[in-house]
Structure 1
Amino acid sequence: MPQNFVWLVLIVLLGAILRFWNLDLKPLWLDETITALFSLGHTYSEVPLGQVQPLADLFRLFQWQPASCIAISAAIRAQSTHPPLFFCWLHQWLGWVDRFDMSLAWKLRSLPAFLGILAIPAVYRLNRVAFSPSAGLAAATLMAVSPFAVYLSQEARHYTLPMLLIILSLVGLVLMLQDLCERQAINLGVWMGWSLLNGLGLYTHYFFALAATAQVLTLLSLSWMYRARLPRRVWGVIGLAIATILLIDAPLLPQFFEHLQRPATDWLNLTTAGLNRWTPLLRFTASLVIMTVIFPVEQQPLGITIVSGLAILSLTAGLGWRVFRGLQRLWRSAATHFSLLLLAHLLGWLLLEYFIVVYGLGKDLTLAFRYNFMLYPLVCALIGAGLTAPSDLEWKRSQPANFQARAQGIRRDLPLVTLVGLLSSACVVSGLAFLKPFQPQQIVQRLQTSTPILVTQTYENWQSVAFGLSIAVNSPATQQSTWLFQSSPIMIDIEEQAQAPLIWLFSDLTDQKPLPSALKISSSPTKLTTNCPAVGEQHQAMNVRYQSYRCIPQKPTR
């Protein structure tokens, strides 16, 4: 059995352990609740708006029921801003794992975790064809222990699927350009596979369009650079490949442009006041750092934050310098120059697109680190290549006598990078890094009481309904609570038997008005009016404010 294969199996096993370790430790948060609703075969239309419902009745929205991909796609198009492919696939996956006695969080996250595992051998293949087997093993190791890759794999969202497709399409791009520019050959099977992967990618995530466009531009730019040695028919093949991608994506394009115009995407709007205009650059830099190392810095005591921050910066600086020096040597080597030129073109086009979207279209992609799933495969490949032992890249023919000593230094870096990645991933799976904008478990703990409660979520859009559902799905089944989704927070009209002495009111995500100091409840059919003044302090999660109210019965309404 080849030694590289044995190492790859061990690396994949390590990556699998990290991705399934504490997979259901963290509660389902807002975005994952949206994933659950659609992927389980339900829609927002099934949420009982304006009706008081026991918590147990809401739990039925999180039970799997058969649904066709056409029905799921229709629900996604009308009530969400995402393409449908991942949700359809996850629905089938949930139908299969529903027989197992596992938590809903584990069932939802197991598919992204599995796809994250597949990305490990995929990136090995990418660096193997681009550089060498050792470069492939280095990239696979980085993918296995990367805190960013582990974070995406433990999220019940559609990020590991497009990331996997990007890696596979990059393998095709490297093979295509190597054939074209070095051997003047065309493998139609590879070209067809590359077009298919880039076409399907848009159906997994809209931001895949940036990765696909960068690949097309790289194909065109390098083909133009090497045009003197290419046969003329290659331009027809390139045109056919691009046309195939567009043809595959054509049915989705109307939905794509419709979703881009929806108010639900307004939270990405760029803030340009004062120095805020430059914060995307800082966040983007930070997003590159946390791809390889992250320690507890969020919501920690100041001392821990400072120590962790200094450790992150020093380790990143050391890694960056070593990778830079390694890439310099790769650039000077005839054996690897073209592959590095290809990845450099790809990185340049991708960064250009990235900042056109941020500063040209005013959509700040840096607001969420997870959106860098389209950039991470390329970063992982470059770091793995930079840390690769030079002797495997045939540098002995052109390097000086002290070459072996310098190469050994690069070999020793990978174990350290691996150890740092393991510690960082341990922070991720333990809930100490990549913290969510709000912690559902903190809200649920405040709601827990022996007194029956009424939880009221006000809403103006489906996003606020999803916020309320994210609290409900994390609540214990034994909680004595009823739930009401309504548009007005001032007057609540409910049945008399639904009254509770304690009410928790949650504001709408977009409502900036202060919560009322008291609630009025009109109870049908007796029309008894209950006064409920606010008690305790007001809390906030994301843009949602929530407050408890204790009810005092008053005289009937005339």
Structure 2
Amino acid sequence: MLGLGLRLINLTDKCLWTDELATLVFSLGHSFLSIPLDQIITSETLLQPLVPDPQLNLGGVVEHLLGESNHPPLYFWLTHLWLQMFPTPDGLVSLWGARSLSALFGTAAIPAIFCLGYLAFRSLWIAQLAALLMATSPLAIYLAQEARHYTLPILWVIASLACLIIATRALAERRPLPLWVMLVWIVVNGLGTASHYFFSLTLCAEGIVLLGLAGRQIQQQALSTDKTLKANRSFWQKHPLRSTWLRIGVVGAGTLASLVVWLPFLQGVQDSEITQWIHRGNRVGLEWLDPVLQILAGASTMLYMLPIQASNAPLSVVSFVALVLLAIWTGFKINQGLRISSANGYAVWILGGFVVGAIATFLIITYGFEREVTSAPRYHFVFFPAVILLIAAALVQQWSPSRAVLKQTAIIIVSLSLLGAITVVSNLGYQKTHRPDIVAQAIREGPSQQSLIVIAHSTHGQTGRMMALAWDFKHRPLQPAPLFLMAHIIDKPESVLIPLQHSLEQISTPITLWLLEFKGVPEDALQATLAAHHCQPQPQVKSATDGYRYRMHRCRGDQ
């Protein structure tokens, strides 16, 4: 109940942003391509893909999703079905409905991590503490309040780790892996990949753990000199490890088959325009440390978050410094606890190896393939449940010997985790990646005349930015209603000047012109085009916020 309440508090208070709009549009079975480019449109036209159409089905969802985006369809299918249960205020899709599905999956992770904790450690104390930390984790709540597909794969990660624990225990006890576990493991891995392609990184980390165990067992067998145990046994008794490894191999083959299904849709994704934001090459100096620091920062938010994004600058700085100190102190305490528990904690070695393997995979992709997957904490869902379990196992070692009362360390960490949860739901931390609400407010505070908002368009990412503004104006009206123009870039950034010029020629009355994402357009050519249509820059209204660069011009119009 605590976890559910934290995930539903202020669920719709934060602004709707580009990635969430992609979830809504594709889940409804619509397309971004239906919105006209290079012509002036109204907010009604811009928001049309957010109007539910009962005639559209799951086939439309997968058609547009796989054709225009780079995500598998499972979560979008579920969202399509889920949204049919909610009314459509103002004719538009329900934002509460869209975000509540993610919140429910996030809540389900609480009993799921409890079950995994008990399975791995056979300890109710560790299982209960892991559930509590999952309930209050700032990262978990941030992901649960997004209309995005991250809380569902967290459930698949937990289920896959449960199968890994059972498999490694079977290896340790020299018994075959149950057939039902094999089937469940293959199905879970397939569903995980169908929810998010980054689930494959979870599989890589599990593979690293299994390879490590295989190497250890080979070494142990090479050192063994006891041959008497091999006499007079059945095949399964003689070769228990061989049979278990054979079954794990079958799981691997089945999982690989579920991955191969998506290869045709992954072709070209790496170099597509919508994934270029994670490309990072030509590092110099201390920039080489960025990925490591990003992983550490993201990992710290699994436990803590303070108001580092508060509007009060001193409070923000103090919160940042406090977070760094807390992370260092907590890292020391967790390391201390894990050293104690690892003496008789087989699960600590398995989960610890999994986390190390996942982080290594992230760093290989970042440094080796120049794709900075460490930059977004949301991608840490790959190893997030394992970290929570390891923290719980470490904290149990900080309790009193009788385990009747928590010691101060555990109390402090859990209390600060709850404080971090409150910080997130209060929008003082983990704010939306893009902030259309700030841009919309700047436009409202501008001149009280017709506004034309123009964005340099290349992908549906820019379409989503414009739709987010239109959504804001729909729910907090601006008079007169603004107009929108998505000037598409063809080959070169300056190509946007042609539709901009044509649009300005259609306007004969004074307007306020807002230019978004025009940074790459040559300044001389831009100012020449604007001057020809009597548009004067307003230097005092030129700014940037998360996801937007904007500036204002006042145009007298062609009369």
The alignment's TM-score, normalised by the length of structure 1, stands at 0.86
Tell me how far apart the structure 2 counterparts of residues 484 and 499 of structure 1 sit (CA, whole Å).
16
Which residue does 1:456 correspond to in 2?
454
Q: Could you give the per-residue CA deviations for residues 173-231 of structure 1, whole angstroms, max 9, x where no partner exists?
A: 11222123225132111121111111221221121111012113323432453465734
Q: Could you give the per-residue CA deviations for residues 379-413 of structure 1, whole angstroms, max 9, x where no partner exists?
A: 1010011112689xxxxxxxxxxx727x6785543
Which residue does 1:359 correspond to in 2?
367
Q: Could you give the per-residue CA deviations for residues 298-327 of structure 1, whole angstroms, max 9, x where no partner exists?
A: 365443234213332333333323322222
Tell me how far apart the structure 2 counterparts of residues 299 and 390 of structure 1 sit (CA, whole Å).
33
Residue 32 of structure 1: CA displacement?
Answer: 1.4
* Residues 33-42 or 124-133, more deviating: 33-42
Residue 128 of structure 1: CA displacement?
Answer: 0.4
Cα distance change on mapping 1:236 and 1:497 into 2, 3 Å: same
Residue 499 of structure 1: CA displacement?
Answer: 5.5
Identity %: 29
Letter of the 1:307 counterpart: V
Which residue does 1:385 correspond to in 2?
393
- Map residues 60-75 of structure 1 onto 2, 5 A cutoff: 60-66=48-54, 67-75=56-64
Gaps of 5+ in 1: 1-12, 392-402, 522-528
Tell me how far apart the structure 2 counterparts of residues 500 and 59 of structure 1 sit (CA, whole Å).
25
* 2:490 is the alignment partner of 1:502: no
- Map residues 397-412 of structure 1 onto 2, 5 A cutoff: 404=401, 411-412=407-408
Cα distance change on mapping 1:19 and 1:520 into 2, 3 Å: same
The structure 2 residue matched to 1:37, chosen from 25, 29, 42, is 25
Q: Could you give the per-residue CA deviations for residues 429-464 of structure 1, whole angstroms, max 9, x where no partner exists?
A: 111001344421111112226422222222123222
Tell me how far apart the structure 2 counterparts of residues 388 and 468 of structure 1 sit (CA, whole Å).
49
Tell me how far apart the structure 2 counterparts of residues 307 and 55 of structure 1 sit (CA, whole Å).
41
The structure 2 residue matched to 1:418, chosen from 414, 418, 422, is 414
Tell me how far apart the structure 1 counterparts of residues 423 and 316 of structure 2 sit (CA, whole Å).
14
Letter of the 1:209 counterpart: S
Structure 1 stretches of at least 4 aligned residues deviating more than 4 Å after TM superposition: 99-103, 299-302, 407-412, 494-500, 518-521
Q: Is the 8 A contact 1:206 1:256 kept in 2?
A: no
Cα distance change on mapping 1:143 and 1:31 into 2, 3 Å: same
Cα distance change on mapping 1:213 and 1:509 into 2, 3 Å: farther
Q: Is the 8 A contact 1:218 1:342 kept in 2?
A: yes
Letter of the 1:232 counterpart: R
Q: Is the 8 A contact 1:116 1:149 kept in 2?
A: yes
Counterpart secondary structure, 1:157: coil
Residue 129 of structure 1: CA displacement?
Answer: 0.6
Tell me how far apart the structure 2 counterparts of residues 100 and 120 of structure 1 sit (CA, whole Å).
32
Residue 495 of structure 1: CA displacement?
Answer: 9.4
Which residue does 2:482 correspond to in 1?
481
Tell me how far apart the structure 2 counterparts of residues 343 and 553 of structure 1 sit (CA, whole Å).
65
Q: Is the 8 A contact 2:37 2:487 kept in 1?
A: yes
The alignment's TM-score, normalised by the length of structure 2, stands at 0.86
Letter of the 1:288 counterpart: A
Residue 51 of structure 1: CA displacement?
Answer: 2.9
Counterpart secondary structure, 2:307: coil
**Number of positions where the alignment pairs a residue of Structure 1 with one of Structure 2:** 521
Tell me how far apart the structure 1 counterparts of residues 457 and 198 of structure 2 sit (CA, whole Å).
28
* Residues 64-73 or 160-169, more deviating: 64-73
* 2:311 is the alignment partner of 1:269: no
The structure 1 residue matched to 2:248, chosen from 223, 230, 238, is 238
Tell me how far apart the structure 1 counterparts of residues 42 and 31 of structure 2 sit (CA, whole Å).
19
Cα distance change on mapping 1:340 and 1:259 into 2, 3 Å: same
Tell me how far apart the structure 1 counterparts of residues 334 and 65 of structure 2 sit (CA, whole Å).
42
The structure 1 residue matched to 2:358, chosen from 316, 327, 350, is 350
Letter of the 1:327 counterpart: L
Q: Is the 8 A contact 2:505 2:558 kept in 1?
A: no
Cα distance change on mapping 1:519 and 1:445 into 2, 3 Å: farther
Cα distance change on mapping 1:504 and 1:378 into 2, 3 Å: farther
Which residue does 1:51 correspond to in 2?
39
* 2:331 is the alignment partner of 1:320: yes
Q: Is the 8 A contact 1:39 1:72 kept in 2?
A: yes
Residue 330 of structure 1: CA displacement?
Answer: 1.4
Q: Is the 8 A contact 1:142 1:380 kept in 2?
A: yes
Tell me how far apart the structure 1 counterparts of residues 534 and 216 of structure 2 sit (CA, whole Å).
76
Residue 152 of structure 1: CA displacement?
Answer: 0.7
- Map residues 466-477 of structure 1 onto 2, 5 A cutoff: 466-476=464-474
* 2:39 is the alignment partner of 1:89: no
Which residue does 1:524 correspond to in 2?
none
Which residue does 1:179 correspond to in 2?
170
Letter of the 1:225 counterpart: R
Q: Could you give the per-residue CA deviations for residues 98-136 of structure 1, whole angstroms, max 9, x where no partner exists?
A: 368998332221111111001111111111011112111
Letter of the 2:473 counterpart: S
Q: Is the 8 A contact 1:387 1:410 kept in 2?
A: no
* Residues 343-352 or 122-131, more deviating: 343-352
* 2:137 is the alignment partner of 1:137: no
Which residue does 2:302 correspond to in 1?
291
Which residue does 1:114 correspond to in 2?
104
Cα distance change on mapping 1:471 and 1:500 into 2, 3 Å: farther
Letter of the 1:81 counterpart: N
Residue 251 of structure 1: CA displacement?
Answer: 1.7
Tell me how far apart the structure 1 counterparts of residues 178 and 89 of structure 2 sit (CA, whole Å).
44
Letter of the 2:5 counterpart: I
Which residue does 2:226 correspond to in 1?
none
Tell me how far apart the structure 2 counterparts of residues 440 and 507 of structure 1 sit (CA, whole Å).
11
Tell me how far apart the structure 2 counterparts of residues 236 and 499 of structure 1 sit (CA, whole Å).
76
Which residue does 1:427 correspond to in 2?
423
Tell me how far apart the structure 1 counterparts of residues 337 and 168 of structure 2 sit (CA, whole Å).
23
Counterpart secondary structure, 1:255: helix
Tell me how far apart the structure 2 counterparts of residues 51 and 163 of structure 1 sit (CA, whole Å).
42
Tell me how far apart the structure 2 counterparts of residues 319 and 387 of structure 1 sit (CA, whole Å).
10
* Residues 430-439 or 156-165, more deviating: 430-439
Q: Is the 8 A contact 2:433 2:547 kept in 1?
A: no
Counterpart secondary structure, 1:65: coil
Which residue does 2:231 correspond to in 1?
none
Letter of the 2:189 counterpart: N
Counterpart secondary structure, 1:26: coil
* Residues 411-420 or 253-262, more deviating: 411-420
* 2:535 is the alignment partner of 1:532: yes
Counterpart secondary structure, 2:52: coil
Tell me how far apart the structure 2 counterparts of residues 182 and 201 of structure 1 sit (CA, whole Å).
28
Counterpart secondary structure, 1:435: coil
Residue 420 of structure 1: CA displacement?
Answer: 0.8
* 2:116 is the alignment partner of 1:126: yes
Residue 550 of structure 1: CA displacement?
Answer: 2.3
Tell me how far apart the structure 2 counterparts of residues 294 and 462 of structure 1 sit (CA, whole Å).
31
Counterpart secondary structure, 1:434: coil
Counterpart secondary structure, 2:152: helix
